[in-house]
A and B are shown apart, each in its own frame.
Chain A
Amino acid sequence: MSDSLFRAWVYLAATPLVGLTATLLAYQFGYAVFLRANRNPLANPVLIAIVLLAAVLGVSGTSYERYFEGAQFVHFLLGPATVALAVPLYRNFQTIRRTAFAVCAAILVGSLVAIVTAIGTAWLLGASRQTLLSLAPKSVTTPVAMGISEQIGGLPSLTAALVILTGIIGATFATLLLNAAGIKDWRARGLSVGIAAHGIGTARAFRSTKSQAPLQAWAWA
Chain B
Amino acid sequence: MLRVLTLLLLCQLAGEIAARAAGLPLPGPVIGMVLMFGWLAYQGGVDADTGKVAGALLEHLSLLFVPAGVGVVLHLDVIAAEWPAILAALFVSTFAAILAAAATMRWLAPSDGDSAK
The 0/1 profile, CB within 8 Å of B marked 1, for residues 59-76 of chain A is 000001001100110110
**How far is B96's CA from A186's CA once the two chains are assembled, in angstroms?**
18
Whether B67 and A71, one on each chain, are in contact in the complex, defined by CB atoms closer than 8 angstroms, is yes
Whether B30 and A46, one on each chain, are in contact in the complex, defined by CB atoms closer than 8 angstroms, is no
- Which residues from B are CB-within-8-Å of A186? 114-115, 117
| Closest residue of B by beta carbon distance from A131 | B82
The 0/1 profile, CB within 8 Å of B marked 1, for residues 9-43 of chain A is 00000000000000110110000000000000000
Enumerate A125-181 residues with CB–CB distance to B below 8 Å.
Answer: 125-128, 130-131, 135, 138-139, 141-144, 147-148, 155, 157-158, 160-162, 164-167, 169-170, 173-174, 177-178, 181
- Which residues from B are CB-within-8-Å of A106? 101-102, 104-105, 108
Q: Does B100 contact A (CB under 8 A)?
A: yes
The 0/1 profile, CB within 8 Å of B marked 1, for residues 103-127 of chain A is 1011101110111011101100111
Supposing A78-B29, A141-B30 touch, asked if A88 and B66 sit within 8 A by C-beta, the answer is no
| Closest residue of B by beta carbon distance from A172 | B94
Question: What distance in Å separates the Cβ of A66 from its nearest Cβ neighbour in chain B?
Answer: 12
**How far is B90's CA from A101's CA once the two chains are assembled, in angstroms?**
28
Question: What distance in Å separates the Cβ of B65 from its nearest Cβ neighbour in chain A?
Answer: 6
Q: Does B2 contact A (CB under 8 A)?
A: no
Whether B71 and A166, one on each chain, are in contact in the complex, defined by CB atoms closer than 8 angstroms, is no
Q: How many residues of A contact B (CB 8 A)?
A: 112
| Closest residue of B by beta carbon distance from A156 | B71
Contact of A209 among B85, B108, B110, B117 (CB under 8 A): B117
Whether B115 and A187, one on each chain, are in contact in the complex, defined by CB atoms closer than 8 angstroms, is yes
Question: What distance in Å separates the Cβ of B9 from its nearest Cβ neighbour in chain A?
Answer: 6
- Which residues from B are CB-within-8-Å of A105? 104, 108
Question: What distance in Å separates the Cβ of B6 from its nearest Cβ neighbour in chain A?
Answer: 10
| Closest residue of A by beta carbon distance from B16 | A79
> Which of B33, B73, B101: most chain A Cβ within 10 A?
B101
Contact of A181 among B55, B71, B102 (CB under 8 A): B102
Point out residues on B near A: beta carbons under 8 Å: 5, 8-9, 11-12, 15, 25-30, 32-37, 39-41, 46, 50-51, 53-55, 57-59, 61-75, 78, 81-82, 84-86, 88-110, 112, 114-117
